[in-house]
């Protein structure tokens, strides 16, 4: 087995030229094109995913805002109904010094002028 190895001799391999097959370049080009298409697809898919997540957060915020506004609307409607109730109107009129018109009160009108 030691007869196969030459320890002292140097071998000059600088002139050895391997032929490059065109199939290798075709396969490399094909792999590069397919890889770029697949990676572009992943990038587009990731961007759409992040946009969908952002839109989901925005819609949730709008849903919460809508709920808050509905509650505020209900509160304002109750307050309006309370403020426009006959008892509340009468109480406010009394605080302003107004009284309910009675049947026994005579209203005097100025005499009409006949010219």
Domain that holds residue 89: 21-95
Alpha helices in 10-85 (DSSP H): 22-83
**Residue 48, in any domain of the structure:** yes
| Structural domain contains residue 49 | yes
Please, what's the b/e burial string for 10-26 (b: 16 or more CB within 10 A of its CB; e: otherwise)? eeeeeeeeeeeeeeeee
CB-based contact 86:96 (threshold 8 Å): no
Distance (Å, whole) CA 56 – CA 79 = 35
> What is the Cβ-side half-sphere exposure of residue 60, based on CA atoms within 13 angstroms?
6
Is 108 among the domain residues?
no
Q: Between the CA of residue 7 and those of 1, 4, 11, 40, what are the distances in Å? A: 13, 10, 10, 53
Q: How many domains does the chain have?
A: 1
Core vs surface per residue 41-75: b (16+ CB within 10 A) or e: eeeeeeeeeeeeeeeeeeeeeeeeeeeeeeeeeee
Per residue in 22-70, pLDDT (tens digit) is: 899 999 999 999 999 999 999 999 999 999 999 999 999 999 999 999 9
Please check whether residue 52 lies inside any domain of the structure. yes
Residue 45 lies in a domain: yes
Rounded to two decimals, what is the model's pTM? 0.52
Q: How much of the chain exceeds pLDDT 90, in percent?
A: 53
């Amino acid at each position: 087995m030691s007869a196969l190895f030459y320890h002292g001799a140097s071998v000059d391999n600088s002139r050895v030229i391997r032929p490059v097959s065109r199939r290798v370049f075709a396969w490399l080009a094909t792999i590069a094109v397919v890889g770029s298409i697949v990676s572009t697809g992943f990038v587009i898919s990731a961007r759409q995913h992040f946009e969908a997540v952002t839109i989901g957060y925005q819609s949730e915020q709008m849903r919460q805002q809508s709920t808050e506004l509905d509650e505020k609307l209900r509160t304002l409607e109750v307050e309006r109904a309370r403020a426009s109730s006959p008892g509340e109107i009468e109480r406010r009129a009394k605080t302003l010094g107004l009284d309910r018109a009675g049947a026994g009160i005579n209203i005097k009108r100025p005499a009409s002028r006949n010219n």
